[in-house]
Amino acid sequence: MSQPQQQAVIGPLKGAGVLVTRPAHQAEVFCRMIEQAGGVPLRFPVLEILEPRDSGRLDALIDRLDAFDIAIFISPNAVSMAVNRIHARRPWPEHLRIGAVGQKSAQELARAGHPAHICPPRRFDSEALLEEPELQDVAGKRIVIFRGDGGRELLGDTLKERGAVVEYAEAYRRGRPDADTGKLMIHWSRGELHLVTSTSSEGLRNLFDMVGKLGRMWLRKTPLLVGAPRMVETARELGFNGDPWVAEDPSDESMMQAVLQWAQAREPQHEQ
């Protein structure tokens, strides 16, 4: 008769509970990486992706897509929400150059049949995209940026300074899920949650709001890993204890690399 399984967890994470706050439909790959490293992913989406508030305005811009020289997609969500709508309304303009902020967006574009012409090989943010040669001399170019509601203005503002005519296309909006925090509180109370991960300032603020007063006490004490250096200031504003760990970019691969670095630094005290 087999005995109950008592063996130690194998892998660099050694059973560590990692809070994954990505939108539900985007969390699976990161969760699988955590599991393969011997960790326990605790799913708690803090953002949901919704249809744009003004779909008519988006459709009107899509109908005149021929007028643009370059289309830039800020995120995988911008790709999936915009490209499907474009395909439903019109043929893709053959002359249109395509830019993507990050490899995940580029992969989504390639899957849709529109490989990106402009995409930074590393550092998946607006700053990296702006360093690409094709976006240096854009005077007189018409550029459309597909994004969610709001967001950073750095990309558009910089392209305007370089002489481009820029328009934003809001392809989706972000919402805060109506989530039950009960299981999350139980994990914290049992000491099963060892690391919080977040890839956007908006998501981190949503998490802070969603967990309530008791949850904030635990949240601030739990090590935090963020997906961009600019999020460090957000963590400070929210009162986190100490500075967070910072991934090179918010991709699954970079986030996981930073998780493993956290685990390695945690090792000596974890063994005591």
Please determine, for residue 7, whether its predicted confidence score (pLDDT) is greater than 70: no
How confident is the model over 147-177, as pLDDT tens digits?
Answer: 998 777 899 999 999 999 999 999 999 999 9
What is the pTM (predicted TM-score) of this model?
0.83
| Cα 146 versus chain centre, distance | 15
3-state helix, strand, coil in the chain (%, to 5): 45, 15, 40
- Terminal CA-CA length for the chain: 34
Kindly indicate the confidence band of residue 269, based on its pLDDT and cuts at 50, 70 and 90: low
Confidence of residue 9 (pLDDT cuts 50, 70, 90): low
CATH topology assigned to domain 17-47+177-271: Rossmann fold (3.40.50)
Question: Token pair 């956290």 is at which residue?
Answer: 262
Establish whether domains 17-47+177-271 and 50-175 are of one fold.
yes
Domain 50-175 matching CATH 3.40.50.10090: the answer reads yes
Q: Where are the domains of the chain?
A: 17-47+177-271, 50-175
Mean pLDDT, residues 1-22? 74
The Cβ-side half-sphere exposure at 198, using a 13 Å CA radius, reads 23
- Confidence band, pLDDT 50/70/90 cuts, at residue 4: very low
Q: Beta strands 48-50 and 165-175: pairing type?
A: antiparallel
- Residue type (1 letter), 82: A
Please compute the mean of the pLDDT values over residues 192-210 and round it to a whole number. 96
Q: Which residues pair with 118 in a beta bridge?
A: 99
pLDDT score for 261: 97
Q: How many CB atoms lie within 10 A of CB 87?
A: 14
- Find the mean pLDDT for residues 195-224: 95
**What is the percent of the chain where pLDDT is above 70?**
95
Of 49, 65, 60, nearest to 177 by C-alpha is: 49
Q: Where are the beta strands (DSSP E) in the chain?
A: 17-20, 40-43, 48-50, 70-73, 97-100, 142-148, 165-175, 195-198, 224-226, 245-246
Q: Which neighbouring-strand residues pair with 168?
A: 145
CA-to-CA dists, residue 222 to 54, 61, 105, 183, angstroms? 39, 44, 31, 16
The number of angstroms, rounded, from the C-alpha of 35 to the middle of its chain's C-alpha atoms is 20
Q: What is the pLDDT of residue 44?
A: 97
Other Cβ atoms less than 10 A from the Cβ of 66: the count is: 11
**Quick one: how far is CA 109 from the chain centroid?**
16
The mean-pLDDT minimum among 6-10, 39-43, 102-106, 211-215 falls in 6-10
Mean pLDDT score across all residues of the chain: 92
Backbone angles phi, psi at 9, to 5 degrees: -70, 130
- pLDDT tens by residue, 231-243: 999 999 999 988 9
Phi, psi for residue 98 in degrees, rounded to 5: -120, 130
- Whether residue 32 is predicted with pLDDT greater than 70 in this model: the reply is yes
Identify the sign of the CA torsion 248, 252, 255, 256: negative
